[in-house]
Amino acid sequence: MSEHQYRNGHLVIIGGGEDRKHDMEILKRFVELAGGTEANIVVITAASTIADEMWSIYDEAFGTLGVTRRSHLMIESRQDANSEAFVRQVDDATGIFMTGGDQKRLLALIGGSALDAAMHVALKVRGVTIGGTSAGASAMSGHMLATGRVELHPEKGSVSLGAGLGFLHRVVVDQHFSERQRLSRLLSVVAQNPYLQGIGIDEDTALVVDIGVGIEVLGQGAVTIVDGRTMITNVADIKDRDTPELIDVRLHLLPAGSSYQLPTGATEPGKGLPPPLLDFLENVTKRNPLS
Protein backbone atom coordinates (compact mmCIF):
# COMPACT_ATOMS: atom_id res chain seq x y z
CA MET A 1 0.00 0.00 0.00
CA SER A 2 1.57 3.30 -0.97
CA GLU A 3 1.67 6.34 1.28
CA HIS A 4 -1.20 8.18 -0.39
CA GLN A 5 -3.61 5.35 0.27
CA TYR A 6 -3.28 5.77 4.03
CA ARG A 7 -6.24 7.36 5.74
CA ASN A 8 -5.59 9.39 8.86
CA GLY A 9 -7.93 8.90 11.78
CA HIS A 10 -9.06 11.00 14.70
CA LEU A 11 -8.26 10.98 18.38
CA VAL A 12 -10.95 11.98 20.88
CA ILE A 13 -9.08 12.64 24.10
CA ILE A 14 -11.52 13.13 26.97
CA GLY A 15 -10.75 14.49 30.43
CA GLY A 16 -13.05 12.05 32.23
CA GLY A 17 -16.60 12.50 33.47
CA GLU A 18 -18.08 12.96 29.99
CA ASP A 19 -21.85 13.07 29.84
CA ARG A 20 -23.20 9.56 29.12
CA LYS A 21 -26.88 10.15 29.80
CA HIS A 22 -28.14 13.43 28.40
CA ASP A 23 -26.92 15.25 25.31
CA MET A 24 -23.70 13.19 25.22
CA GLU A 25 -22.01 15.86 23.08
CA ILE A 26 -18.61 14.22 23.22
CA LEU A 27 -19.64 10.59 22.80
CA LYS A 28 -21.94 11.67 19.99
CA ARG A 29 -19.02 13.27 18.18
CA PHE A 30 -16.95 10.14 18.73
CA VAL A 31 -19.71 8.07 17.16
CA GLU A 32 -20.12 10.47 14.22
CA LEU A 33 -16.40 10.36 13.51
CA ALA A 34 -16.51 6.56 13.70
CA GLY A 35 -19.28 6.35 11.10
CA GLY A 36 -22.50 7.23 12.93
CA THR A 37 -25.09 4.49 13.09
CA GLU A 38 -22.92 2.48 10.67
CA ALA A 39 -20.03 2.53 13.16
CA ASN A 40 -18.49 -0.63 14.52
CA ILE A 41 -17.23 0.28 17.97
CA VAL A 42 -15.06 -1.80 20.27
CA VAL A 43 -14.68 -0.80 23.89
CA ILE A 44 -11.45 -1.52 25.75
CA THR A 45 -12.04 -1.60 29.50
CA ALA A 46 -8.62 -2.95 30.46
CA ALA A 47 -7.72 0.16 32.48
CA SER A 48 -10.48 -0.73 34.92
CA THR A 49 -10.84 -3.46 37.52
CA ILE A 50 -14.61 -3.26 37.08
CA ALA A 51 -14.58 -3.98 33.38
CA ASP A 52 -18.12 -5.34 33.18
CA GLU A 53 -19.61 -2.26 34.81
CA MET A 54 -17.61 -0.03 32.49
CA TRP A 55 -18.79 -1.94 29.48
CA SER A 56 -22.43 -1.74 30.54
CA ILE A 57 -22.18 2.06 30.83
CA TYR A 58 -20.77 2.50 27.33
CA ASP A 59 -22.89 -0.30 25.89
CA GLU A 60 -25.92 1.70 26.92
CA ALA A 61 -24.53 5.07 25.82
CA PHE A 62 -23.45 3.91 22.36
CA GLY A 63 -26.72 2.01 22.01
CA THR A 64 -28.68 5.16 22.79
CA LEU A 65 -26.64 6.92 20.11
CA GLY A 66 -27.87 4.37 17.56
CA VAL A 67 -24.77 2.20 17.25
CA THR A 68 -25.84 -1.41 16.81
CA ARG A 69 -22.40 -2.87 16.15
CA ARG A 70 -20.68 -2.45 19.49
CA SER A 71 -18.64 -4.94 21.44
CA HIS A 72 -16.56 -5.34 24.54
CA LEU A 73 -12.94 -6.44 24.38
CA MET A 74 -12.65 -8.10 27.77
CA ILE A 75 -8.89 -8.12 28.18
CA GLU A 76 -7.75 -9.80 31.37
CA SER A 77 -4.25 -10.82 30.36
CA ARG A 78 -1.54 -10.09 27.83
CA GLN A 79 -2.53 -13.34 26.13
CA ASP A 80 -5.93 -11.76 25.52
CA ALA A 81 -4.22 -8.68 24.08
CA ASN A 82 -2.30 -10.91 21.69
CA SER A 83 -5.25 -13.12 20.75
CA GLU A 84 -6.22 -13.33 17.10
CA ALA A 85 -9.90 -12.93 17.92
CA PHE A 86 -9.44 -9.55 19.61
CA VAL A 87 -7.00 -8.32 16.99
CA ARG A 88 -9.55 -9.21 14.33
CA GLN A 89 -12.20 -7.22 16.19
CA VAL A 90 -9.91 -4.18 16.21
CA ASP A 91 -9.16 -4.74 12.52
CA ASP A 92 -12.89 -4.59 11.80
CA ALA A 93 -13.66 -1.63 14.06
CA THR A 94 -14.33 1.91 12.87
CA GLY A 95 -14.13 3.27 16.43
CA ILE A 96 -12.07 2.15 19.42
CA PHE A 97 -12.92 3.50 22.85
CA MET A 98 -10.78 3.18 25.98
CA THR A 99 -12.50 3.68 29.33
CA GLY A 100 -11.14 5.13 32.54
CA GLY A 101 -9.41 3.24 35.31
CA ASP A 102 -5.65 3.22 35.73
CA GLN A 103 -3.48 3.90 32.72
CA LYS A 104 -0.65 1.80 34.18
CA ARG A 105 -2.96 -1.21 34.29
CA LEU A 106 -4.06 -0.56 30.71
CA LEU A 107 -0.49 -0.37 29.44
CA ALA A 108 0.62 -3.39 31.47
CA LEU A 109 -2.08 -5.39 29.71
CA ILE A 110 -1.95 -4.07 26.13
CA GLY A 111 1.31 -2.11 25.74
CA GLY A 112 3.39 -3.58 22.92
CA SER A 113 0.81 -6.29 22.18
CA ALA A 114 -0.65 -7.29 18.82
CA LEU A 115 -3.75 -5.35 19.83
CA ASP A 116 -1.64 -2.22 20.37
CA ALA A 117 -0.10 -2.65 16.91
CA ALA A 118 -3.56 -3.16 15.40
CA MET A 119 -4.74 0.09 16.99
CA HIS A 120 -1.88 1.99 15.33
CA VAL A 121 -2.80 0.47 11.97
CA ALA A 122 -6.43 1.34 12.57
CA LEU A 123 -5.58 4.98 13.35
CA LYS A 124 -2.93 5.57 10.73
CA VAL A 125 -3.91 3.32 7.83
CA ARG A 126 -7.65 2.82 8.06
CA GLY A 127 -8.63 6.26 9.40
CA VAL A 128 -10.32 4.86 12.50
CA THR A 129 -11.35 7.06 15.44
CA ILE A 130 -9.75 6.28 18.79
CA GLY A 131 -11.36 7.72 21.89
CA GLY A 132 -10.19 7.55 25.46
CA THR A 133 -11.42 9.06 28.68
CA SER A 134 -9.53 9.71 31.91
CA ALA A 135 -6.93 6.89 32.09
CA GLY A 136 -7.80 6.14 28.47
CA ALA A 137 -6.83 9.72 27.61
CA SER A 138 -3.54 9.73 29.50
CA ALA A 139 -2.62 6.44 27.84
CA MET A 140 -2.59 7.99 24.37
CA SER A 141 0.75 9.77 24.52
CA GLY A 142 4.16 8.17 24.12
CA HIS A 143 5.32 9.47 27.47
CA MET A 144 2.50 8.76 29.86
CA LEU A 145 1.81 10.34 33.21
CA ALA A 146 1.99 7.24 35.40
CA THR A 147 1.81 8.46 38.99
CA GLY A 148 2.04 11.87 40.53
CA ARG A 149 1.15 13.55 43.76
CA VAL A 150 -0.98 16.65 43.51
CA GLU A 151 0.73 19.27 45.64
CA LEU A 152 0.10 22.97 46.05
CA HIS A 153 3.26 23.70 44.08
CA PRO A 154 5.26 21.89 41.46
CA GLU A 155 7.78 19.61 43.14
CA LYS A 156 10.87 17.95 41.84
CA GLY A 157 10.47 14.18 41.78
CA SER A 158 6.74 14.19 42.46
CA VAL A 159 5.68 12.72 39.12
CA SER A 160 6.76 9.65 37.25
CA LEU A 161 6.24 8.85 33.62
CA GLY A 162 5.76 5.54 31.88
CA ALA A 163 5.49 4.33 28.31
CA GLY A 164 2.06 5.01 26.81
CA LEU A 165 0.46 3.94 23.55
CA GLY A 166 2.19 6.65 21.52
CA PHE A 167 -0.60 7.95 19.30
CA LEU A 168 0.82 11.37 20.20
CA HIS A 169 4.40 12.30 20.88
CA ARG A 170 6.24 15.05 22.75
CA VAL A 171 3.23 15.63 24.97
CA VAL A 172 1.89 14.32 28.24
CA VAL A 173 -1.85 14.23 28.95
CA ASP A 174 -3.47 14.85 32.31
CA GLN A 175 -7.23 14.70 32.90
CA HIS A 176 -9.87 15.85 35.43
CA PHE A 177 -7.59 18.84 35.11
CA SER A 178 -9.26 21.94 36.55
CA GLU A 179 -11.57 19.93 38.78
CA ARG A 180 -8.67 18.22 40.56
CA GLN A 181 -6.39 21.26 40.47
CA ARG A 182 -3.66 19.49 38.55
CA LEU A 183 -1.76 22.41 37.05
CA SER A 184 1.01 22.04 39.63
CA ARG A 185 1.37 18.39 38.71
CA LEU A 186 1.57 19.19 35.02
CA LEU A 187 4.15 21.89 35.75
CA SER A 188 6.12 19.29 37.71
CA VAL A 189 6.20 17.11 34.58
CA VAL A 190 7.20 19.95 32.30
CA ALA A 191 9.81 21.31 34.73
CA GLN A 192 11.70 18.04 34.61
CA ASN A 193 10.77 17.07 31.05
CA PRO A 194 10.75 20.24 28.96
CA TYR A 195 10.81 18.05 25.87
CA LEU A 196 7.14 17.39 26.58
CA GLN A 197 4.31 19.87 26.29
CA GLY A 198 1.69 19.34 28.97
CA ILE A 199 -1.97 18.95 27.98
CA GLY A 200 -4.54 19.24 30.77
CA ILE A 201 -8.09 18.28 29.83
CA ASP A 202 -11.07 19.14 32.01
CA GLU A 203 -13.94 16.83 32.82
CA ASP A 204 -16.67 16.49 30.19
CA THR A 205 -14.26 18.10 27.76
CA ALA A 206 -12.45 16.61 24.79
CA LEU A 207 -9.52 17.51 22.63
CA VAL A 208 -10.36 16.15 19.19
CA VAL A 209 -7.32 15.65 16.97
CA ASP A 210 -7.88 15.34 13.24
CA ILE A 211 -4.51 13.99 12.18
CA GLY A 212 -2.92 16.11 9.48
CA VAL A 213 -5.70 18.70 9.70
CA GLY A 214 -6.30 20.35 13.07
CA ILE A 215 -7.78 20.21 16.55
CA GLU A 216 -11.02 21.13 18.26
CA VAL A 217 -12.11 21.46 21.88
CA LEU A 218 -15.56 20.10 22.74
CA GLY A 219 -17.68 19.93 25.88
CA GLN A 220 -18.02 21.94 29.06
CA GLY A 221 -14.52 22.94 30.12
CA ALA A 222 -11.20 23.83 28.59
CA VAL A 223 -7.89 22.39 27.52
CA THR A 224 -4.80 23.89 29.16
CA ILE A 225 -1.41 23.61 27.50
CA VAL A 226 1.85 24.29 29.31
CA ASP A 227 4.96 24.64 27.23
CA GLY A 228 8.30 24.75 29.00
CA ARG A 229 10.58 24.53 26.01
CA THR A 230 11.92 28.06 26.41
CA MET A 231 11.61 28.01 30.19
CA ILE A 232 14.51 28.83 32.49
CA THR A 233 14.65 26.69 35.62
CA ASN A 234 16.92 25.54 38.42
CA VAL A 235 15.27 22.10 38.57
CA ALA A 236 18.52 20.30 37.82
CA ASP A 237 20.17 21.85 40.86
CA ILE A 238 17.54 21.49 43.59
CA LYS A 239 16.72 18.61 45.90
CA ASP A 240 13.82 16.21 45.51
CA ARG A 241 10.54 17.63 46.84
CA ASP A 242 11.79 21.19 46.49
CA THR A 243 9.82 23.60 44.33
CA PRO A 244 11.72 24.66 41.22
CA GLU A 245 12.04 28.19 39.98
CA LEU A 246 10.21 28.32 36.65
CA ILE A 247 10.64 31.35 34.43
CA ASP A 248 8.75 31.89 31.21
CA VAL A 249 6.50 28.87 30.99
CA ARG A 250 4.02 29.47 28.16
CA LEU A 251 0.42 28.76 29.07
CA HIS A 252 -2.47 28.42 26.65
CA LEU A 253 -6.12 28.03 27.61
CA LEU A 254 -8.40 26.69 24.89
CA PRO A 255 -12.04 26.79 25.96
CA ALA A 256 -14.65 24.46 24.49
CA GLY A 257 -15.63 25.75 21.07
CA SER A 258 -12.06 26.52 20.04
CA SER A 259 -10.78 24.97 16.85
CA TYR A 260 -7.55 25.39 14.96
CA GLN A 261 -6.40 24.12 11.62
CA LEU A 262 -2.96 23.67 10.18
CA PRO A 263 -1.92 26.11 7.49
CA THR A 264 -2.83 24.53 4.17
CA GLY A 265 -0.32 26.33 1.97
CA ALA A 266 2.60 28.68 2.09
CA THR A 267 0.40 31.76 1.82
CA GLU A 268 -2.68 30.46 3.59
CA PRO A 269 -2.67 31.03 7.34
CA GLY A 270 -4.29 28.26 9.38
CA LYS A 271 -7.91 29.07 10.11
CA GLY A 272 -8.01 31.08 13.33
CA LEU A 273 -4.55 29.91 14.28
CA PRO A 274 -2.64 32.15 16.70
CA PRO A 275 1.05 31.86 15.77
CA PRO A 276 2.19 30.62 19.22
CA LEU A 277 -0.05 27.57 18.78
CA LEU A 278 1.46 26.48 15.46
CA ASP A 279 4.14 24.35 17.04
CA PHE A 280 1.72 22.57 19.31
CA LEU A 281 -0.70 22.02 16.48
CA GLU A 282 1.94 20.65 14.13
CA ASN A 283 3.07 18.30 16.85
CA VAL A 284 -0.26 16.82 17.93
CA THR A 285 -1.67 16.51 14.42
CA LYS A 286 1.47 14.90 13.05
CA ARG A 287 1.03 11.56 11.36
CA ASN A 288 3.51 9.39 13.23
CA PRO A 289 5.14 6.27 11.78
CA LEU A 290 3.29 3.02 12.26
CA SER A 291 5.54 1.93 15.09
For residues 181 and 129, give the distance between their C-alpha atoms in angstroms, rounded to a whole number.
Answer: 29
Rounded Cα distance between 243 and 153, Å, is: 7
Q: Which is nearer to a second copy, 48 or 205 (CB)?
A: 205
The nearest distance, CB 13 to a second copy, in angstroms, is: 18
Give me the least distance between CB of 254 and a second copy, in Å please: 6
Pick 55 or 177: Cβ nearer a second copy: 177
CA distances from residue 137 to 98, 142, 181, 255, 288 in whole angstroms, order as listed: 8, 12, 17, 18, 18
Torsion angle defined by CA atoms of residues 83, 161, 138 and 231, in that order, rounded to the nearest 10 degrees: -150
Give the catalytic positions in this structure. 134, 176, 203
- Cβ nearer to a second copy, comparing 110 with 223: 223
Q: Which residues bind a second copy (CB under 8 A)?
A: 152-154, 178-179, 181, 183-184, 187, 202, 221-222, 226, 232, 242-256, 258, 274-277
Report in angstroms how near the CB of residue 276 gets to a second copy at its nearest. 4
CB of 168 closer than 8 Å to CB of 124 = no
Q: How far apart are alpha carbons 162 and 183 in whole angstroms?
A: 19
Neighbour count for residue 77 (Cβ, 10 Å): 10
Compare residues 58 and 177 and give the one whose CB is closer to a second copy: 177
The C-alpha atoms of residue 186 and residue 181 are separated, in whole angstroms, by 10
Closer to a second copy at the Cβ: 1 or 152? 152
CB of 92 to a second copy, least distance (A): 39
Residues ≥6 apart with Cβ < 8 Å to 253? 222, 223, 224, 225
Contact 194, 34 (CB under 8 A): no
Q: Least separation, in Å, of the C-beta of 37 and a second copy?
A: 33
Q: Residue 165 carries which DSSP code?
A: -
